[in-house]
Amino acid sequence: MTKISWDGVQRGYVPAEPLPIDPALPLHEAGSADVDPVTFEVIRYALLNANVEHGQTLQRLCVSPVTMLTRDFQPSILTERGELVFLGPYLQYFSNAQALTVKWILEHRGGDPGIGPGDMFLSNDPYVGTPHQPDTIVAAPVFVGEQLFCWVANVLHHSDIGGSVVGSFCVDAADIFTDPPAFPPFKIVEGGRLRPDLEQLFLRQSRLPGVVQMDLRAAVSANTATVRKIEALISRYGADAVKTVMHRVLDAGEQLFRQRLGEIPDGTWSHRLYAEASHTGDTGLYRYQLTVRKSGDELFVDNAGTDPQAGSINVTYAGLVGAFLAALTASLTPDLAGAYGGVYRRVHFDPVPGTLSCADFPAAVSPSGVFTMELLISLAGSVIAKMVAAGPPEVRDRALGPAQPHWYGTIIAGQFDNGAPYIAVNANNMIGALPAGSDADGADFGGHFWIPEGIASNVEDTEQLYPMLCLYRRALPCGADGAGTRRGGRSITEAYVPWGTPGMAAALYIDDSFPKAVGPFGANPSSMGRVQVRHGVGLADQFAAGVVPQDLAALPGTDQPVEHKGPMLMLGPDSVISWTGANNPGYGDPLARDPDDVDRDVAAGRLDPADATRVYAVIWAAEGGVDRPATDRQRAQRLAARLSGAVPPAGEARRAEPDARLRPIAGELGTTPAGQWVSLTGRVLLGPVTGDYRSACAVRDTPVSELAPEFATRPGRPGEQMLLREYLCPATGLRLTTELIRTGDDPAPDMVLATGAPS
């Protein structure tokens, strides 16, 4: 049997240590200069600002809204060997893509065709380093004399680079041969001259070659300007001084991360999420799993338990690593301001190849930018939240938790009156929402932690750019989706109609049949992304009467059934399409939420009073406000009903001693000084911390589609197979944790500590 190596050809690229580089390529590796503290800070901030200005240059020069507004790009500065020094406040998982690609160039292009001053390399190959093909890297070496000093790179999302679907998210792809083309690194600029033959090769694949060309030229120009800034910095302070600062920035980041890891006990944490529909027409369910093991000051990550690669819902090694590192640095080291290369040194990956989250060639990956990458970021956020919960409160409270599990929105295509094509990438879900934490509700419309600078378009911008009219953009209400002791942040919904055009086509959309993410430590699942298409709604009559429709359900017409990954949807002049984002997951059991917090949500119009009673068991007094005694009684009844419908644990429950000091972990879960898991309110002992506390819980399964109206799905869809499994304190009925699980699956591992109890 032929051995398959991690070479970026047959399988994702994993750089060897040490990295094999052609000895004919001289490297500047000195970094032992004696740099005084003031000069150190001047150089450090000069590097940081050069990278920030790199991003601002991209934003000003690019012409596509996905780059100008969404900020779907990332500039970076890397060492001569491809270690990340700084990245910008843009799409965070791109940093790893650039590091992998630069290392691949060093290993495979150093001798032939060679790496020289004024060169730049282009790549969009997911098996080398990019998350999917629209994300295209342009990397430029910086030289000092004949020595390679460092790298400047950027990666940005292009509006269309080919493939079977407009916008290059090919949900119907069976493999990479029906995906957009993937180019391993080639020299797009040689000695300062852009190569027109290779530029034309890249542009020939696109339905929007003019737009892609302008964005590509912007990437080259921004690299050029940043290279000159670093050359000027070297000229002023000397190459050794600048390299010394780079090395110390890396070392300081590593040291801070080691310090914070040291506050978390050793252990193993795992989490699982499910996706649906690996391609158009599919109704299958697919499992993704991540496990993190902490040993001393290092993390070890694997994806064992993930299903084999299938359809177009895969990512390569690069995507898996990028998603995890984005969630990790946002939770534990956001104060490093993008200087994350030192953190990366302490994280080791041992993935199972040929799986959905570490696919082998020739798996299709192009839709990952809206499906799988977000799912993996959410999955990573969940497992990291469990890990840091075992640390002290100041560490636990850093965790951001699960992000929105998909990128909700649409790609709509058509023609202007003059026959020119347009592709409208609706990235207004950039408004986003943040998940709840251990100490606060999630931020409504708080964006996404993995792309801090991203913004949504104004409605007027969308209407000016494309032949469509927005009927409404408004907030999603609070409900069972995202409920918890701390509720998740709210997102938005929008509706559009064709305007001044005979029609348009929705090439990409997401209609969930079940929620994909569940909140930590007993919270409810997040929202389901919804898409509704209604034809023959009588828009002309509505407008003539001076009415802009706000309630699609009240309009006449016929709904078109929509699938999670369906075929292109054709919209005529009397059609409406609406979509929702997702309220993000909460944190902790909803029945433990402070009634005053519920009252504030109702008073602010975020939550309907009847829904407050349905979701949080809050009873309202006749004169207004919360009826505390009635609320306590209602909650006690709900908790008793949970237990009556649950399977109790084997054996009789034992309780902690009355004077035992319990240490909270999160929600209702804690530990005793003797190294036992314990439920905090019920004080029920749940076994040693070296084992699974859930084996001592009462367990209740509920079909997700029956959990609440927010989670209902059309009969026959995959979501009918999903369960919400609640692990309950056998004394109180309060949730310790919940998981979404496919009917017939064994539960995923959760968390165990290596020895003893956290201090």
pLDDT tens digit sequence for 43-81: 999 999 999 999 999 999 999 988 888 899 999 999 999
Residue 759's pLDDT band, with cuts at 50, 70 and 90, is: low
Compute the radius of gyration of the chain from its Cα atoms.
26
Q: Are residues 456 and 417 in the same domain?
A: yes
Residue 184 has pLDDT above 60, yes or no: yes
> What's the pLDDT score for residue 757?
62
Q: Are residues 353 and 497 in the same domain?
A: yes
Q: Are residues 169 and 317 in the same domain?
A: no
How many folded domains does the chain comprise?
Answer: 2
How many residues are present in the chain? 759
Reduced 3-state DSSP string for 81-93:
CCCEEEECCCCCC
What percentage of residues in the chain have a pLDDT greater than 70? 99
Distance from C-alpha of 667 to C-alpha of 385, rounded to nearest angstrom: 12
Cα separation, 553 vs 335, whole angstroms: 46
Same domain, 248 and 273: no
Are 250 and 274 part of one and the same domain? Answer: no
Range of the structural domain that residue 154 is part of: 37-255
State whether 568 and 434 are in the same domain.
yes
Q: Say if 549 falls within a structural domain.
A: yes
pLDDT in tens, 76-127: 999 999 999 999 999 999 988 999 999 999 999 999 999 999 999 999 999 9
Coil, strand or helix at 484: coil
Place of tokens 């402070």: 594
Q: b/e map of 375-387 (b: 16 or more CB within 10 Å)?
A: bbbbbbbbbbbbb
Q: Give exposure, 160-199, as e/b (b: 16+ Cβ within 10 Å).
A: bbbbebbbbbbbbbbebebbbbbbbbbbbbbeeeebeebb
| Residue 441 belongs to some domain of the structure | yes
Model confidence pLDDT, tens digit, residues 591-644: 999 999 999 999 999 999 999 999 999 999 998 899 999 999 999 999 999 999
Residue 399: name the closest of 348, 440, 356 by CA: 440
DSSP letters along 108-170, please?
Answer: HHIIIII--TT-EEEE--TTTT-SSTTEEEEEEEEEETTEEEEEEEEEEE-S---SSSTTS--
Locus of tokens 């949807």 = 569
CA distances from 461 to 127, 376, 451, 500, 548 (A): 36, 31, 21, 16, 19
Task: Provide the 8-state DSSP code for 619.
Answer: P
8 in a structural domain: no
Q: Are residues 409 and 546 in the same domain?
A: yes
Residue 139's DSSP bridge partners are 121, 153
Residue type, 543: F
Instruction: Please tell me whether residue 183 adopts helix, strand or coil conformation.
Output: coil
- Whether the upstream peptide bond of residue 181 has omega within 30° of 0, thus cis, is no
Burial of residue 570, with CB atoms counted within 10 A of its CB: 0-12 exposed, 13-18 middle, 19 or more buried: middle
165 plus 248 within the same structural domain: yes
* DSSP code for 571: E
292-342: pLDDT as tens digits: 999 999 999 999 999 999 999 999 999 999 999 999 999 999 999 999 999
pLDDT at position 33 is 76
The per-type count for the chain, helices as H runs and strands as E runs, is: 16, 28
Please write the tens of the pLDDT for every residue from 522-561: 999 999 999 999 999 999 999 999 999 999 888 999 999 9
396 confidence band (pLDDT: 50, 70, 90): confident
Whether the CB-CB separation of 424 and 466 falls below 8 Å is answered with yes
> Residue 161 falls within a domain, yes or no?
yes
| Cα 29 from Cα 50, distance rounded (Å) | 21
Assigned domain for 17 exists: no
Q: End of a domain among 580, 614, 645?
A: 580
- pLDDT given at position 651: 86
DSSP 312-336: T----HHHHHHHHHHHHHHHH-GGG
Domain boundary among 218, 235, 255: 255
Q: Report the candidate in 342, 413, 405, 410 with the shortest Cα–Cα distance to residue 585.
A: 405
- Domain-embedded: residue 686: no
751: nearest Cα among 259, 266, 395: 266
Domain boundary among the residues 557, 580, 603 is at 580
Please check whether residues 205 and 273 belong to one and the same domain. Answer: no
- Rounded to 5 degrees, φ, ψ at 720 are -65, -15
Q: How far apart are CA 355 and CA 421, in angstroms?
A: 37
Q: How far is 424 from 418, CA to CA, in rounded Å?
A: 17
- Statement to judge: residues 210 and 359 lie in one domain: no
3-state secondary structure of 711: helix
Q: Which residue has the tokens 């009826």?
A: 627
Residue 551, Cβ neighbours under 10 Å: how many?
Answer: 8
What is the enclosing helix (H) or strand (E) of 611? helix 609-616
Q: 351: which 2 tokens?
A: 């993935």
pLDDT of residue 2: 61
**Is 197's pLDDT higher than 90?**
yes
Residue 707 domain flag: no
Q: 522 with 559, same domain?
A: yes
Locate 664 and state its tokens: 């909270």
The Cα 455–Cα 473 span in angstroms is: 15
**Range 698-725 average pLDDT:** 97
User: Is residue 3 one of the residues assigned to a domain?
Assistant: no
CA distance 434 to 700: 28
Would you say 513 and 719 are in contact if contact means Cβ atoms under 8 Å apart?
yes
| In a shared domain, residues 442 and 556 | yes
Q: Which helix (H) or strand (E) holds 46?
A: helix 37-61
pTM over 0.85: yes
CA distances from 623 to 303, 613, 626 (A): 54, 16, 9
Averaged confidence pLDDT in the chain = 95
